[in-house]
Amino acid sequence: MPDLAPFGVARRPKAAPQSTLVFGQNGLLPTDPAWESFQVALRILAGGGFTSRLMKSVREERGLTYGIGAGLDLLFGRALVIGNVQTANASVGEVWNLIRSAWTEMAANGPTEAEVADALAFLGGSLPLQFTDSRRTAGLLLNLRQTGRAPDWLAGRPARLAAIDRARVAEAAARVLKPEALVLAVAGEPVGL
Q: Tell whether the model's pLDDT for residue 124 goes beyond 90.
A: no
pLDDT of residue 1: 55
- Report the alpha-carbon distance of residue 47 to residue 91 in Å, rounded: 21
pLDDT of residue 2: 60
Cα 34 from chain centroid (whole Å): 15
pLDDT of residue 137: 86
- Report the alpha-carbon distance of residue 48 to residue 189 in Å, rounded: 28
How far lies 79's CA from each of 41, 82, 152, 157, 181, in Å?
15, 10, 23, 20, 14
- % of residues, the chain, pLDDT over 90: 72
Cα 7 from chain centroid (whole Å): 19
Strand, helix or coil for residue 22: strand
Cβ within 8 Å of residue 46, ≥6 positions away: 52, 53, 54, 68, 69, 70, 71, 81, 83, 102
- Report the alpha-carbon distance of residue 179 to residue 157 in Å, rounded: 30
DSSP string covering 151-173, please? GGGGGGHHHHHHT--HHHHHHHH
How would residue 132 be classed by pLDDT, with cut points 50, 70 and 90? confident
Q: Tell whether the model's pLDDT for residue 171 goes beyond 90.
A: yes
